[in-house]
Structure 1
Amino acid sequence: MAHPRSLVAPWSRLAASSLARRHPETPRIALLPLQSLRTAATKSKDKDKKKRKPRNTFVQYDLKNADQFSLIDAMHYIRAFEVGRNPSSSKYEMHIRLRSLKNGPVIRNRLRLPHPVKTDVRICVIAPPDSKHAAEARAAGASLVGEEEVFNQVKEGVIEFDRCICHTESLQKLNKAGLGRVLGPKGLMPSVKTGTVVTNVGATVKNMTGGSEYREKLGVIRMAIGQLGFTPEEMQNNIKTFMEILKKDIAQMSDRISKEIHEVVLSSTNSPGFTLNGEYKGPDSIPPKELSGPF
């Protein structure tokens, strides 16, 4: 007769095999290949981002297929948009689009046009109130003249002027007043670099009232070039003077950065812009005399 221990071993093998059949092992999900695919996709995206460099120039459109107009034709269409308005209230505006870098230096200047554009510019002059400089400023058309009076108004937040110049004798008082935090962000703080700290106050005020200021912003220079009552000849003289001075400004900056004129657009206060082709009149243009009178 067999020993009981010899029978236990076969039964244990049968129990283990039956349990294995009843409860098969569940297959495990392979996560590694999926994770590797995800990391590969993210790596490819990162490579694409690295390849795309940020644009350092402004977007310029091709003008080959764009409609371009002569000065007479552009003025003709613009005046049609301004019918019924006072010729002295609306103004012609020039828009010069430049090919330039985004983070480069900008062009900024002031000029006096052959036919000044009358604007209601309020000028503040910081000078001793009882001095001859203050008298010259008032005679030239300054709206606000003084020192302590101006300082107190600015500190109280009352800024009722569009331009601010300072006489050299009052520069030290201006710096002590600490108005840079208020006037600086508004572009009204007088400084030697911008030519607003002067010795001849009267002449400077006259140039500001009859002069025009322009500054490049986002690759575009905008400036009022005339009033709607101007004749085509007056507009031509103003545009020619403006373009000559602007080209000189660009030539002076050629050592630091390259700037080129891409497009010249003429518009008005209530009209769209018309790209100019550089010609005074076209073959089908109306006579200039018809643009010289009232609407």
Structure 2
Amino acid sequence: MRFLEAINQVRKSKKRKFDETLDANILLNLKENQKNEVIRGFVQFPNKFGFDKRVVVFAEEVDLQNAAIESGAVRAGSDDLLKEVSSGEYVDFDVVIATPSIMPKLIKLGKVLGPKGLMPNPKDGTVTSEISAAVKKFKQGSVNFKSQQGQGTINLAFGKLSQSDRELQENFTALLLSIKDVAGKFCNPVIKRAIIKSTMSAAYLVDTNL
């Protein structure tokens, strides 16, 4: 089924009193011995949706901390911020960015950030010296994704039902292109199948040929 046909079917579902989220389930065309690989990357959605992401930055340099705040981070700091996050005193954030030099100190946060998928990683752009650019990127709609180990699937929200068909198609296309970009070295063709659904709708198999 073509993407817009699937969206039309989703829109025909019973209307809810809230703005439903559109989710994609992408099965990668991996061999069995490749499914333990964790394939990760990020997608810059052209059309923002949902709430603004709360970004925190770990950096020892005061100028980088100031740059982070000026670029939209809700908090930026070093040892004091580490202590607050480690103790569970401060947990109100959605993205964690860190400079390479402070990463050794963040090891102690592995048990706190790891289960939430928030541990900074150079592969998804959250370990960088370009703090200002990184904060702006995630504030403007960049979202990290990674495959589920042992399954070879990527699950990610790509829009809201209140958005136009064009906006949803642009976001879905951006997601597919980003996945193909990072997973191309593992398999070709990259995507075995793609399913989309809203929070409460049925699921629809969609064409991934761009």
Task: Please tell me the TM-score bracket, short chain as reference.
Answer: 0.7 to 0.9
Deviation at 1:96, TM superposition (A): 0.9
Larger radius of gyration: 1
Q: 2:74 aligns with which of 139, 143, 147?
A: 143
Secondary structure in 2 aligned to 1:154? helix
Pairing 1:1-295 to 2, within 5 Å after superposition: 69-81=1-13, 83-86=15-18, 89-104=19-34, 105-128=37-60, 131-158=62-89, 159-171=91-103, 174=105, 178-209=108-139, 210-217=141-148, 218-254=151-187, 260-277=190-207
**Unmatched 5+ residue regions in structure 2?**
none
Q: In structure 2, give the amino acid aligned to 1:91.
A: T
Q: In structure 2, give the amino acid aligned to 1:268.
A: S
CA distance in 1, matches of 2:14, 2:145: 24
> Which is bigger in relative contact order (C-alpha 8 A, separation at least 6)?
2
State TM-score, norm by structure 1: 0.60
CA distance in 2, matches of 1:75, 1:191: 34
Secondary structure in 2 aligned to 1:81? coil
Indicate how the Cα distance of structure 1 residues 71 and 184 shifts in structure 2: closer, same or farther if over 3 A, else same: closer
Secondary structure in 1 aligned to 2:47? coil
CA distance in 2, matches of 1:269, 1:186: 21
Indicate how the Cα distance of structure 1 residues 233 and 191 shifts in structure 2: closer, same or farther if over 3 A, else same: closer
State TM-score, norm by structure 2: 0.81
How many corresponding residue pairs?
A: 204
CA distance in 2, matches of 1:96, 1:187: 19
Q: Which has the higher strand share?
A: 2
Are the counterparts in 2 of residues 123 and 142 from structure 1 also a CA contact under 8 Å?
Answer: yes
Are the counterparts in 1 of residues 86 and 108 from structure 2 also a CA contact under 8 Å?
Answer: no
Q: In structure 1, give the amino acid aligned to 2:164.
A: T
Are the counterparts in 1 of residues 42 and 145 from structure 2 also a CA contact under 8 Å?
Answer: yes
Deviation at 1:211, TM superposition (A): 0.8
**Unmatched 5+ residue regions in structure 1?**
1-68, 281-295
Deviation at 1:223, TM superposition (A): 1.4
Same amino acid, percent of matched pairs? 26
Deviation at 1:185, TM superposition (A): 4.3
Deviation at 1:222, TM superposition (A): 1.2
